[in-house]
Amino acid sequence: MKIDTPKVIIDYDIMKNNIHKMQELVSNNSCSLRPHIKTHKIPDIAKMQIEAGAVGISVAKIGEAEVMADAGIDDIFIAYPIIGEDKIKRLLKLNKKIRLIVGTESIYAIKQLDKYAKEDNQILELRVEIDTGMGRSGVEYQKVESFFDNIAGFSNINITGIFTFKGLIYNGEVTRDAKNAGYEESNMMVDLANRLRKKGFDIKDISVGSTPTAKYACMVEGVTEVRPGTYVFNDQMLVNLNVCEEKDCAARVLSTIVSKQKFGKAIIDGGNKTFSTDASMDKFPYFLKGYGKVVGYDNITLSGLSEEHGTILIDNDNGELSIGDTISIIPNHVCTTINLHNELAFVSNNNIIDKKMVSARGMVY
């Protein structure tokens, strides 16, 4: 296989297996899968997920939703608070073409959404975001019931459910225990939905989950939907959490050694414009070593990155790698790595079978 570097390659067979494995797991628990496309950002992969049984997709930004809708995907949840006239008018344009669900978490946003929907004679389907421990966006868990009391009476919004992203939080602390984190997240949301229903609110959908927690979150009765994303490719963070194995990682970055001035150290042609740097090194809960896992070499660490240079350190260097040699690296965080690249190469049995543009790359608005 001849390919110019640095380049992200995707093992098609591993990816396909990951898609079907997650779908089967979720379906076997009578739950729906609505995968987040933040990881791959490619419409054709989203279509593969839907063909495997997903009910639709999740996105973070309107730009991502527009790319996916233009490609023919017609059931999209924007799991993010949307505010501002320009963005809401883009929502309303999309809402005429597809089933669109929009996340919200403030009275400010709901007033705007209702106002512009009314002006355009439309109804917007909303889900209220709940903060179940991440401490990011979302209505504080203890204040949700009073929040719902204050949003009755709006005529052009239809609140159909609640959603959350709790991640690896258990009992208020960051954890490696994905099982209990997933159970806690789902139980909190089901309990909350039941309390809201008793007050007369028609909560149809309870949407939860991440790749580490999805297989546990979907087991809790009452949860209707999970939204994992990273599982499609997997990465070194998930390997270190024991969520998957190295053989389940579909995405690798191929990089070439361009300099080796002395034993024990070499330079590759990928820096921080090739590999993401957002994952913390050697810290709980991931305990990552370097900026990615060099496949097949336990003695090599990708120890440093500048813009276009990556430094690898080679323990007990016996000259096994030289200038011109190519190495394969599993990214620590695949989602942010993919967003650095315009195109992915897909391989099967060590042959390139396709190349695809990362169509929703940079769609952050």
Place of tokens 């001849």: 2
* Per-residue pLDDT tens digits for 278-288: 877 789 999 99
Degrees (nearest 5) of the Cα angle 171, 138, 168? 35
CATH class of the structural domain 246-357: mainly beta
- Which residue type occupies 265? K
* Per-residue pLDDT tens digits for 296-320: 999 999 999 999 999 999 999 999 9
30 dihedral zone (left: phi>0; alpha: psi -120 to 50; beta): left
Q: What is the pTM of this model?
A: 0.96
* Closest listed residue to residue 267, CA positions, set 302, 296, 241: 302
Task: Average the pLDDT over 73-80 and give the result.
Answer: 99
* Closest listed residue to residue 157, CA positions, set 106, 112, 224: 112
Other CB atoms within a 10 A radius of the CB of residue 67 amount to 21
- Which residue type occupies 87? K
117: enclosing H helix or E strand: helix 107-119
Band (90; pLDDT cuts 50, 70, 90): very high
* pLDDT exceeds cutoff 90 at 72: yes
Distance CA 15, CA 17 (A): 5
Band (152; pLDDT cuts 50, 70, 90): confident
Q: Any idea where the domains of the chain sit in the sequence?
A: 12-232, 246-357
Task: Average the pLDDT over 191-213 and give the result.
Answer: 98
Q: What does the pLDDT read at residue 279?
A: 78
Q: What does the pLDDT read at residue 282?
A: 84
Domains 12-232 and 246-357 share a fold: no
Q: What does the pLDDT read at residue 281?
A: 77
Q: What does the pLDDT read at residue 21?
A: 99
Distance CA 235, CA 244 (A): 9
Answer for the pair 82, 129: CB distance below 8 angstroms, yes or no: no
3-state SS, residue 71: coil
What architecture does CATH give domain 12-232? Alpha-Beta Barrel (3.20)
163: enclosing H helix or E strand: strand 157-163
Other CB atoms within a 10 A radius of the CB of residue 236 amount to 24
Q: What does the pLDDT read at residue 233?
A: 99
3-state SS, residue 293: strand
Q: What does the pLDDT read at residue 163?
A: 99
Answer for the pair 156, 92: CB distance below 8 angstroms, yes or no: no
* pLDDT exceeds cutoff 90 at 265: yes
Average pLDDT, the chain: 97
191 dihedral zone (left: phi>0; alpha: psi -120 to 50; beta): alpha
* pLDDT exceeds cutoff 90 at 335: yes
* Per-residue pLDDT tens digits for 1-42: 789 999 999 999 999 999 999 999 999 999 999 999 999 999
Residue 226's contacts (CB-CB under 8 Å, 6 or more residues apart) are 26, 31, 32, 33, 34, 207, 208, 209, 214, 217, 218
How much of the chain, in percent, has pLDDT values that exceed 90? 97
* Closest listed residue to residue 168, CA positions, set 336, 285, 280: 285
Q: What does the pLDDT read at residue 64?
A: 99
Q: What does the pLDDT read at residue 2?
A: 83
* Per-residue pLDDT tens digits for 161-179: 999 999 999 999 999 999 9
Other CB atoms within a 10 A radius of the CB of residue 257 amount to 19
Q: What does the pLDDT read at residue 278?
A: 87
